[in-house]
Structure 1
Amino acid sequence: MTRQEVKQVILHQCAREKRIVLRNIILVAILATIVLALLWIYALPNLILYNQQAIAGVASSDFGVYYKWAIPVGLLLSLIYPAKKLFDVFQREKNTHKVFDMLQQNTACTIVSENKAYLTTIPLHWIKIRLNPVHYLHISLNDRGYELPVVEELAPEIKRVLSQADLGHYESIMDQLYGDAAPAETEDAPVKKQPPAQPLPSLTDFHRYAEAEFSGQLKDMEQGRGSVQNIFVVQVFIALAFVGTMVWFFVSGGSAMTDPADIFKLMMTFVGFSSVVGVGYYFFYKRKISNGNTNFTAFKKSVFSRLVHYINPGFEYIEKAHIGLREWLHAGLFTEENYSITGGDQIIGMHNGVPFQSCNLTVTYRPNFTSERDPDDCVFSGNYFVARFHKTFPTPIYIHPRKGVFGAINDSTTTSYLNTEGNKILLEDPDFQEQFNVYCDDQVVARYVLTPVMMERLKAINKRNKGKLYMAINQNNIVMATNSENATEVGNAAYGMMFTKIDLALLDRIYQELTEQLAMIDTLKLNQALWKK
């Protein structure tokens, strides 16, 4: 998609959102008018009497003087949030034009987060029917946040455009990964010029490079992170202290504080004090991250991308990009459903002549007739690596890790969505059989691919990934999906980064993970025609 196409998609979603909101306002107004009319006709005298009694009761109570102010203020405050949300909806189109004007001037765009909201909720006793979903991207330009409605299926492409990634390079790599032509037949495609093939730098070499390149910046980031974390801990301590104090007052039977007015004053004092502390924390936080060297929340942007380019200058790192539903289903590892996919940390390029992509994914699915209190099923959460074979296989091969009792419980949701089509293949290697289940419709093809040498390589990879390696060989692609947390996810959210120590050891872990993925290409010799008979 081009930038102009993305703009048109967002503007169309802005218009849709506005139509739905206006329709809902009209419907609520009609229902409210009907209810008020019925109350006016059938219950007006009772309402007047009840209101008079309530006012008299409040005025005569110990809290009467406070209720006169607290109730109106509370009502006004309760209207602020919906009024702001309504204002934002009607400003959405204007803000979209502003965002793309800034992008046209090459203003850096940071994608903060994304979420789905339902504009219409119909309560029916113990269930709620949620309609009109809208997928939002939360972005930041020039330190100001914007909320853009997008089409969920197009979110990965839109995020790449907003991130100002090299779309020509990306599409070329994806064409080689998922297209019909073999990689050798696309050598003249407009991809970035790749340096000559070379072995991956060793961890020792990287450590020397990181000490010279990053040590000072990492130290500054760690100091900034520690300061912000300390203030956060102080805030939590104050909140817990207040809750504990209030619990003690009430558990003590009122002996410590018998006057309700004193309790009310205490609560108002705490609210005021907390507000002052919160505002102070906000400005302290902004000051601490205003400098690029101390902004620990910019770890991915300022450090991670340079780490990737150290491995190979021809690789491209797109912080908030990832594959979409079409590519996810292409592997055939999981059953075909309308999954929701989020993710980031996408790296694309050519390693020793083999096109690849790597990204972190979180894949969820919401079954029909699910209670609103139940979360979506988390189908997969981890790293998803795809590389190209130099051969087309007539039938897919699916390789799933075998689980013990506790492993099966932990991965029960993932297991329920796995594709187990094909016959279960029994191989001669007992250790391999203990680690994996293999499914394929053609035993000859399965044994042709899973040679003793390849099985040894896969066993080693699976052990390094703690038995959570899922694998598919589908047409021209080999897919390796590790369903576990990984170091490259560090820094995806400011809150998580606040509790992550920023040092050279962290960079070492990230580097080892990235190079281990790329080493799979060399380990499995994907750049060689070893599959020819």
Structure 2
Amino acid sequence: MNNNNIQEILLREHNRDKKLTYYAFALYAVIGVIVIMFLSRILLSRFTGNESTSTPIYYKLIIPVILIGFGFTILKKIKALNNRHLLIEKLFDDLNAGKKASSITQFVDYKITLPLGKIRVRLYPVNFLCFSIQNEVYNLPVPLGIEPDFKVLLSGVNIDHVNNLKENLNSDKVIETIESVPLKTIPEFKEYADTELAPVLKNLEKSRKKGLSFLIIGIVFSVLVVGGFMFFNYTKAADLASNPENASSYASSIFIVFGILCVIIYLVYIPIMKKRYKQIGDSGENYTSFKEQIFKKMIAFINPAFQYVEHGYIGARELRELDIFRDKNYDVTGNDQILGSYNGVPFQYCDLYMSHTPTFRLQNESPEEVFSGQFFMAKFNKTFSTQIVISPKAGISEYIIGNSFSSNIVKPSGKIMLEDPEFTKMFDVYANDQVEARYILTPATMQNIKDIAHKAKGNLFFFFINNKIIAANNNRINKFETGVTTKLNPELLVSFYEDLYKQFSIIDDLKLNINIWKQQAN
């Protein structure tokens, strides 16, 4: 799939969403007319009869104001829908020019929601991605099937190159034994960080502190507004208790004060904050660009040939092709994808999040979290036909609350007892072919897996399938993330590099760069 394919699919999804939106508007318009007719009968006598003189003027304006606001919102939405195809064309012009997106969020918009008591019937879901490119905000419908590829484009990465790296991992080509090049050590990275990354990191930290000060100002402002409103309400309530005849003036005061606060927030506070954030972004020292300005260089320090995709991850289609999960409609997202070949071994890595939403669920029931952690996949140095699943022993807490990831894995029917007592205490091993499983899980391989598990924190699962090895660490941690409250200092960089070092050490620890069959033949 290339840029043109993705653009065509987005335009088709745009037209689909546009049609569904118009259908929803028509339905809500009919419902709105019925509601207005019903309310008009109730309120007509109060607004036009003898009681109208005692009804405050702002009460009479409520319905017209609501109707005008609703109509304005609908017209604005229709205009945006009619012009969205131009926005998509502009987006791909920007992407082809080398620009990249930031602050990507995802949500599902149900075009029609029908409340039926405690049950809500939600119809016609459309998946949306919201992101920004140089202060231009995009809110586009994106089919789930192309979302991983689209996020590669949004990361400013050549999608053809990424696809070639994935083909190397999935090909049947046998790994050739090459001379191993060791990972650069922690002291070597510290020296590199002090000379190359420290100046940039210092500027990003200044930006972070500015962002934190804006956040604090916003919190203080909100507290003052809410506190002031509550104080005003309390004093007026006390006055009302002693002077009930002032009820009308009290309601008017509340209405006026609330309106003034809304005007101040909309016309003064929000524009000031937007301007300050834009100044930070235009300065080139935005702390949110940490991954582009720092983390990307850390990956290149390990190996310049590695491809880093900030918003990339292993998509649902790729996971289904692995045949390690039960057949469900999983929601999959992630970030920090790294692809390439290390010491001749093709691999890919990412932070991954998987969840599952049952078809029928309670209104407030959240999706079931299936996996949250690091997903590492590399080509194995032996050809095999059996599937092997190595699952960590369940702890007491997992017996009580369950392990959603383990319960969603497709495990072979045969459980194998191996000769390594320590390994058996740490893991359960499942495979259909015991002979081939023992051939793959040699004493040296089991020792290496134990060493890797001791280094990792979390629940580390191993899979041997389709001539690949997968290490999935369900530790519920999204690594390499920074925010306005995260101090950007050299210690943070060292911590990140140590995590990367442990991840790529899997290839060295399991000696995946050595063609064992060829060595045995010699």
Is 1:301 the counterpart of 2:292? The answer is yes
Cα offset, 1:8, TM superposition? 0.8
Cα distance in 1 for partners of 2:498, 2:478 equals 9
Is 1:6 the counterpart of 2:3? The answer is no
| Corresponding residue number in structure 2 for 1:350 | 341
Cα offset, 1:81, TM superposition? 4.5
List aligned pairs for 1:302-321, cutoff 5 A: 302-321=293-312
Cα distance in 1 for partners of 2:160, 2:41 equals 70
Is 1:211 the counterpart of 2:197? The answer is no
Letter in 1 for 2:118: W
| Corresponding residue number in structure 1 for 2:185 | 202
Is 1:232 the counterpart of 2:218? The answer is no
- SS for the counterpart of 1:170 is helix
Is 1:517 the counterpart of 2:508? The answer is no
Structure 1 137/267 Cα, relative in aligned 2: closer, same or farther at 3 Å?
closer
| Corresponding residue number in structure 2 for 1:24 | 24
Cα distance in 2 for partners of 1:135, 1:471 equals 32
| Corresponding residue number in structure 1 for 2:365 | 374
Is 1:53 the counterpart of 2:46? The answer is yes
| Corresponding residue number in structure 1 for 2:132 | 140
- Partners of 1:59 and 1:65 within 8 A in 2: no
Structure 1 490/162 Cα, relative in aligned 2: closer, same or farther at 3 Å?
closer
Aligned match of 2:204 in 221, 245, 257?
A: 221
- Partners of 2:416 and 2:434 within 8 A in 1: yes
Cα distance in 2 for partners of 1:510, 1:411 equals 31
Structure 1 265/159 Cα, relative in aligned 2: closer, same or farther at 3 Å?
same
Cα distance in 2 for partners of 1:9, 1:19 equals 16
| Corresponding residue number in structure 1 for 2:320 | 329
Cα offset, 1:11, TM superposition? 0.9
Is 1:508 the counterpart of 2:505? The answer is no
Which structure 1 residue ranges, 5 or more long, are not aligned? 188-195, 492-496
Cα distance in 1 for partners of 2:514, 2:439 equals 16
Cα distance in 1 for partners of 2:374, 2:496 equals 12
Q: Which moved more, 1:211-220 or 1:98-107?
A: 98-107
Cα offset, 1:471, TM superposition? 1.3
Cα offset, 1:288, TM superposition? 2.2
| Corresponding residue number in structure 2 for 1:456 | 447
Letter in 2 for 1:4: N
For residues 217-241 of structure 1, give each alpha carbon's deviation from its aligned partner in whole angstroms, at most 9, with x where no partner exists. 2122112111221221232233234
Structure 1 217/24 Cα, relative in aligned 2: closer, same or farther at 3 Å?
same
Structure 1 197/444 Cα, relative in aligned 2: closer, same or farther at 3 Å?
closer
Cα distance in 1 for partners of 2:192, 2:213 equals 31
Size of the aligned set, in residue pairs, is: 509
List aligned pairs for 1:95-134, cutoff 5 A: 95-110=87-102, 112-134=104-126
| Corresponding residue number in structure 2 for 1:170 | 162
Structure 1 203/81 Cα, relative in aligned 2: closer, same or farther at 3 Å?
farther
- Partners of 1:487 and 1:509 within 8 A in 2: no
Structure 1 140/249 Cα, relative in aligned 2: closer, same or farther at 3 Å?
closer
Aligned match of 1:284 in 265, 272, 276?
A: 276
Cα offset, 1:103, TM superposition? 3.4
| Corresponding residue number in structure 2 for 1:255 | 238
Cα offset, 1:107, TM superposition? 4.1
Structure 1 157/477 Cα, relative in aligned 2: closer, same or farther at 3 Å?
same
Cα offset, 1:385, TM superposition? 0.6
| Corresponding residue number in structure 2 for 1:393 | 384
Structure 1 257/409 Cα, relative in aligned 2: closer, same or farther at 3 Å?
farther
Structure 1 390/284 Cα, relative in aligned 2: closer, same or farther at 3 Å?
same
Cα distance in 1 for partners of 2:115, 2:385 equals 51
Structure 1 47/252 Cα, relative in aligned 2: closer, same or farther at 3 Å?
closer
Cα distance in 1 for partners of 2:73, 2:408 equals 39
Letter in 2 for 1:12: R
- Partners of 1:111 and 1:163 within 8 A in 2: no
Cα offset, 1:482, TM superposition? 1.2
Cα offset, 1:404, TM superposition? 1.5
- Partners of 1:58 and 1:67 within 8 A in 2: no
- Partners of 1:332 and 1:472 within 8 A in 2: no
Structure 1 67/32 Cα, relative in aligned 2: closer, same or farther at 3 Å?
closer
- Partners of 2:351 and 2:478 within 8 A in 1: no
Q: Which moved more, 1:326-335 or 1:88-97?
A: 326-335
Cα distance in 2 for partners of 1:253, 1:26 equals 44
Structure 1 487/96 Cα, relative in aligned 2: closer, same or farther at 3 Å?
closer
Which structure 2 residue ranges, 5 or more long, are not aligned? none
| Corresponding residue number in structure 1 for 2:420 | 429
Structure 1 69/348 Cα, relative in aligned 2: closer, same or farther at 3 Å?
same
Is 1:85 the counterpart of 2:77? The answer is yes
Cα offset, 1:66, TM superposition? 4.2
Cα distance in 1 for partners of 2:422, 2:226 equals 55
TM-score, length-scaled by structure 1: 0.86
Letter in 2 for 1:527: N
Structure 1 114/356 Cα, relative in aligned 2: closer, same or farther at 3 Å?
same
Cα distance in 2 for partners of 1:429, 1:508 equals 35
- Partners of 2:480 and 2:496 within 8 A in 1: no
Cα distance in 2 for partners of 1:177, 1:165 equals 19
TM-score, length-scaled by structure 2: 0.88
- SS for the counterpart of 1:471 is strand
Cα distance in 2 for partners of 1:416, 1:85 equals 44
* RMSD of Structure 2 on Structure 1 (CA): 3.0
